[in-house]
A and B are shown apart, each in its own frame.
Chain A
Amino acid sequence: MTHPESAAEFLKDSQKAKWHDETLWFVRDKRDKVSKGIPEWEQLRELASSIKDNVLANLADYLEEFERNATKNGIIVHWATDSEAHNKLVLEILQKQDCTAVVKSKSILTEECHLNSYLEKHSVEVVDTDLGERIVQFLKQPPSHIVLPAIHLKKGEISELFHEKLHTEKGNEDPTYLTQAARVHLREKFFAAKVAITGVNFGIAETGEFVVCTNEGNADMGVHLAQVHIACMGIEKILPRRKDLGVFLRLLARSATGQPITNYNSHFRNPSPGKEIHIILVDNGRTAQLAREKFRNSLKCIRCGACMNTCPIYRRSGGFSYNSTVPGPIGSILSPGLDLKKHSSLPFASTLCGSCTDVCPVKINIHEQLYEWRQEVTKTQGDFAKGLSMKLANGIFKSPLAYKISGSLMRNALKSLPNSLIYHPLNIWGKNRNLPDAPKESFQQWYRKNRS
């Protein structure tokens, strides 16, 4: 399904769609308020962006430095060119431990690699331990937002789900009650798991350590009780120095949810005595994106989700409408790099208003890249109808007479166009949009009457 088709699905439940829109806007508003409390906010964004520029310009060196230092610290470093290689590595580590049940904290990378379904195929039970992720996992759905995985669900639906899966009281929708039930369920899983998988927020070349941020503490509950910790990290997550974390941790949670920092920010440098830490450095299309000069900047992303919360399209179409692991504006510039054909409608899922670019903590020029991807999509796929109308418009704007005539035609047409034509199924643009009221006269006519 294309983005407009899936968005129409989402909009069928108009009350829920409205709640979704308003709730995400509330999160965006919290981000605004908390960022205004930091006088150097704009300087921090600039710094973060420049640090990432430096990382991308020296990525191979930093990766080697990270590997060297991590190895010195007793961490076992693996490399994976694609999702298949990544999944195989994870399975091998699990098999070596005779582990058939694993706990996993939030990791967009493992979603991207479809690790869960791969492991399940090989008879390994995977328990996602972030509450939102556990909810969508029970429903056999992917997360619909990278920071708020279950934002598309209402508490009534979660209550029903927990009644079925965790035997909570029927009809009890109290979030505290439901969260407590999940706590009891997940703590059983934590205390039983031999291996825990986490994502990585930042890897530090200088020290060979890596940092994982959560609010629930679920990543730490998993890894400190398990014998083996597997950390899955995209190669772009490197930072040069430990002190760079000061910049990024000040930006991350404020941009994501409007909190000054996540409650748990764990720095892993050595395994505990007698335990193992494995880190898998994953490419999966990142070096290809690095090679695309116009789109290279997208690799600066720290997965805060601010661009989703602010996006008028995301808020009104829901995460699933993008049909991509990372939805929203940033997903719409990352995913076409992975599969242009599959994701060709995503660069058009934007008004190009630029709000995503304005809130991005690492200053990715998201809306400009969306525009650039549109050129790429059109180049490869062609779009005859659109090409024709553009040519027509070109002729109209070139000739003053043609412009005048077409203007008057349009003013009349807007008044008299039958709705059946405007809202014709073939005219995707007409969906959920109303035409403006046409003015009676042109600006020239008005000016002559009133000002001359």
Chain B
Amino acid sequence: MSSREKILSAIRSLTLEAKVLPEIPNFSNSGDLVERFTQAISGNKGEVLSKGEFEEWFSAAGFSKVISLSAQFSELATLSLPEDPHALKTLEVAILEGQFGVAENGAIWLEDTQLGLRALPFATEHLVIVLDRNLLEDTMHQGYEKIAATHSGFGLFLAGPSKTADIEQSLVIGAQGAKSLRVVLV
């Protein structure tokens, strides 16, 4: 008997009482969505910027290796998307467009179509996500409702920069992935 059959038949040999799968109520929280989202991102150690604030930061920093998949900021790109993700090793900035955000925790949904390369938001040193302020959902329940029927090869709820507290519980931003997250609300 294969491992598969062994496991399935071990489970099927048990008499297990039927249990109903509950429906999930449409929970919603109160409060202004933009305000809650902004607070959540800053709690996750990211930053929410206006278009003007972002442009100011970007031009002051003087980056030379930038990939932009955002139509609004396509002129900022200095590099085009490579074939091989290993070419992202020295990338300084990636600018992407988020599908929607979640106010309760700052999570932003991204899929293959927004990412170009799946490694992009992780391998880059700084990550910028452009997000329409009218595309904020209240909680994760509304978020999942929105993507219930979509088929994404890879999708992710991204809520902040790479961080760790594994050394004596001291929070450090910039562990293995992106060292910063800036969300440009437009």
Contacts and interface: CB of A to CB of B under 8 A. Distances in A.
Contacts of A130: 166
Nearest to B13: A291
B105 A224 contact: no
A132 interface: yes
A216 B177 contact: yes
Q: Which of A73, A85, A291 has the most CB of B within 10 A?
A: A291
Contacts, number: 239
Interface stretch (B48-56, B62-70, B137-145): B137-145
Given A43-B25, A261-B105, A266-B154, A176 B172 contact: yes
A360 interface: no
Main secondary structure of the interface of B (DSSP, over half): loop
B175 interface: yes
Contacts of A8: none
Interface residues of A, number: 90
B139 A246 contact: yes
Interface string A184-215: 00110011000000000000000100000001
B129 to A, nearest CB: 13
A264 B123 CA distance: 13
B148 interface: yes
B153 A155 contact: no
A225 interface: yes
A148 interface: yes
A4 interface: no
A269 B155 contact: yes
A270 B11 CA distance: 28
Contact of A150 (B18, B22, B117, B167): B167
A154 B168 CA distance: 6
B98 interface: no
A260 B122 contact: no
Contacts of B156: 220, 264-267
A240 interface: yes
A245 B140 contact: yes
B164 A179 contact: yes
Contacts of A191: 86, 89
Q: Which of A27, A179, A183, A271 has the most CB of B within 10 A?
A: A179
A179 B175 contact: yes
A50 B169 CA distance: 34
Contacts of A231: none
Interface in B30-58: 40, 43-44
B164 A215 contact: yes
Interface residues of B, number: 70
Q: Which of B104, B105, B123, B161 has the most CB of A within 10 A?
A: B105
Given A63-B8, A187-B176, A265-B156, A135 B89 contact: no
Interface in A239-278: 240-247, 249-250, 257, 259-272
Interface of B: 2-4, 6-8, 10-12, 14, 16-22, 24-25, 27, 29, 40, 43-44, 85-86, 89, 104-107, 117-119, 122-123, 139-141, 143-145, 147-148, 151-170, 172, 174-178
Given A79-B7, A224-B122, 20 more contacts: A57-B19, A58-B16, A73-B153, A78-B3, A180-B174, A216-B163, A217-B177, A220-B119, A225-B123, A242-B147, A246-B139, A259-B44, A260-B104, A265-B107, A265-B159, A269-B151, A272-B118, A272-B153, A287-B11, A290-B14
7 contacts: A58-B16, A79-B7, A153-B168, A179-B167, A215-B162, A216-B177, A268-B154
Interface of A: 23, 26-27, 38-40, 43-44, 47, 50-51, 53-54, 56-60, 63-64, 73, 78-81, 85, 129-132, 135, 148-151, 153-155, 158, 175-176, 178-180, 182-183, 186-187, 190-191, 207, 215-218, 220-221, 224-225, 235, 240-247, 249-250, 257, 259-272, 281, 283, 287, 290-291
